[in-house]
Structure 1
């Protein structure tokens, strides 16, 4: 897998660099310039925001300025839970968000975001997406809302920041925990916790004021970037609820249709650049963040192997039940489980 990852990243970097080198530094006379707006789930200044910001700069250079996307942080244009509708209506052209925020539209979005402790690595998600039908299913799902799915960008295991110690699964009984919703909410409920849906921009205040006792949110680095260690005392990392977290880059369908074929092809190559930045920057900054936070007194906890195994069993049980929530949920979860059975990860 490490070799595959290295090769795929090298290919995407070489291809993107080649595109950049072929283009002039200014737009050729007569060529259309597409100025778009994008909203992300991330708070400005956080590693998730910086990764997308850097990748969008690459994209502008790769297209010689023909595709110029201005980035807006979470909640700047609309709330994160309203982002799908806003893109579909053309309020802005594109977005980068966790699909779990859209689970109220179709439960299948939650399955696309993460199957909790069932996935083993970000590489598994990418292989399923590009070679086992995941991309086509995601495009079918988003297409119902007049949005084109370009592709995924992932980070690894998420943390849970908390005001109370979480050292075993039974510790979740009775706590209030922030989550984006979907399958993760079901998992926390099974443990006796009360899930609270909340966007990333609300987490600091929610923890500080006691609206929630704990919060799960993307990478450890982003938790540090938005100051959650200032209003918590513990971090469970890696957590049991998400070995991976998938965010999607998506575009209003009409805006996508207006792009010339070469810019569409560039975007479909560029998504690998975004994924690499998002994954690698988040991993690197999370390593630093854990040391910084524990040096300041945050207590780092982990679950026992037995509890992690139990959480995986719960996750599989919940995923199988989730299949019945919508036709697209069934198609996506069946496809994922078929892939994982084929590779021997589950029975």
Structure 2
């Protein structure tokens, strides 16, 4: 078949029009994570995946280590257009609404990150998150959790009985209230102060981070007891974007970003599972006692946690909605009677 010059010219114009029609998206995202940590490295991989899947149509400016504003100001920075998206942790904004605590960490509700993700994808969590964030001009895109956190202690920490009189470092908020119900004495201090406080016997133990992160900063060189797998805390980070910015994106760009967040959530869980188990093997070889709490002790902790949830539920209507969402899902999967 003979191809005329007119046909070639028309095809060329169509290709040029298609190329010019491709919409370009640039998003400015801040995270508190540092480039050196496993989670930080995987967030950088998320950026690369988005750019690759979009064939360069989406470019992300990633600001790590909270380099634009303080971590606690990231959410407002996105709302006000200083950046486009917040990739930190919802606990930073519990001052706006206590409900954000339950978007980030239920403290004792779930045993594994996959259970929390199941609430998001199968238990109504995504809908609850979308409604909550939307009230503040933000769109929730996704959530990723590294692993359960592990306690570190200079005294045995084998079950609930060992919490009585146990003086430990706690972040502010709901966690200290739960542990206090079980007889522990919480001391609120910054993460950076934990090592010295353990070394000088100011505290008996600490809720600090995951097993591998705790080991990485030398906490088990001082505290020869710990919990693993953890049970009390799983801090989840989110990707949430300014709603006006998000709604202005092409639909296929939104889909690419959502898929990339889902991949990130899988990659973080997988990486931390390997890192934590390798660390557990190394620590046990060095004589560190790691206790996996019994079902009975976990149930006692969860009972204290849920009592605290109910107290928090009275803070705002949105908190009551989030608490009910978690409780309903946990009942449906047999965690609650």
Give TM-score scaled by structure 2 length. Answer: 0.82
User: Cα distance, 1:197 vs. partner?
Assistant: 5.8
1:1-347 correspondence to structure 2 within 5 Å:
28-29=19-20, 31-172=22-163, 173-179=165-171, 181-191=172-182, 192-196=184-188, 198=190, 214-229=205-220, 232-242=223-233, 244-347=234-337
Deviations 1:160-204 (A, max 9, x none): 13444433334443513132x443232123233224264x66765
Query: CA 1:295 to 1:46, structure 2 compared with 1: closer, same or farther past 3 Å?
Result: farther
- The 3 A distance-change label for structure 1 pair 89 and 315 is same
- The answer to which of 127-136 and 301-310 deviates more is 301-310
Conserved? CA contact 1:103–1:182, under 8 Å: no
CA–CA distance in structure 1, aligned partners of residues 289 and 111 of structure 2: 26
Provide the C-alpha distance between the structure 2 equivalents of 1:148 and 1:97, rounded to a whole number of angstroms. 14
Question: Are 1:74 and 1:201, in contact at CA under 8 Å, matched by a contact in 2?
Answer: no
Alignment deviations for residues 204-257 of structure 1 (CA, whole Å, 9 cap, x no partner): 577667776543345323334455445644322223313x44221111223212
8 Å contact from structure 2 (residues 149, 230) kept in 1: yes
Distance 1:222 1:127 in 2: 25
- Structure 1: state its 5+ residue gaps: 1-26
Q: Which has the larger radius of gyration?
A: 2
| CA RMSD across the alignment | 2.9
Give the whole-Å Cα distance in 2 for the aligned partners of 1:46 and 1:221. 11
Shift of 1:102: 2.1
- Per-residue deviation, residues 43-85 of structure 1 (Å, max 9, x unmatched): 3311111221212211111111222223333333333322222
- Cα deviation for residue 304 of structure 1 reads 4.4
Q: Which runs of 5+ in 2 are unaligned?
A: 1-17
Contact 1:324 1:330 in 2 (8 A): yes
Native 8 Å contact 1:137 1:332 kept in 2: yes
- CA spacing shift, 1:286–1:135, aligned 2, 3 Å: same
Change (3 A) 1:92 1:205: farther
TM-score normalised to structure 1 length: 0.80
Output the CA distance in 2 between the equivalents of 1:280 and 1:342: 26
Equivalent residues of 2:110, 2:231 under 8 A apart: no
Distance change in 2, residues 1:262/1:178 (3 Å): same
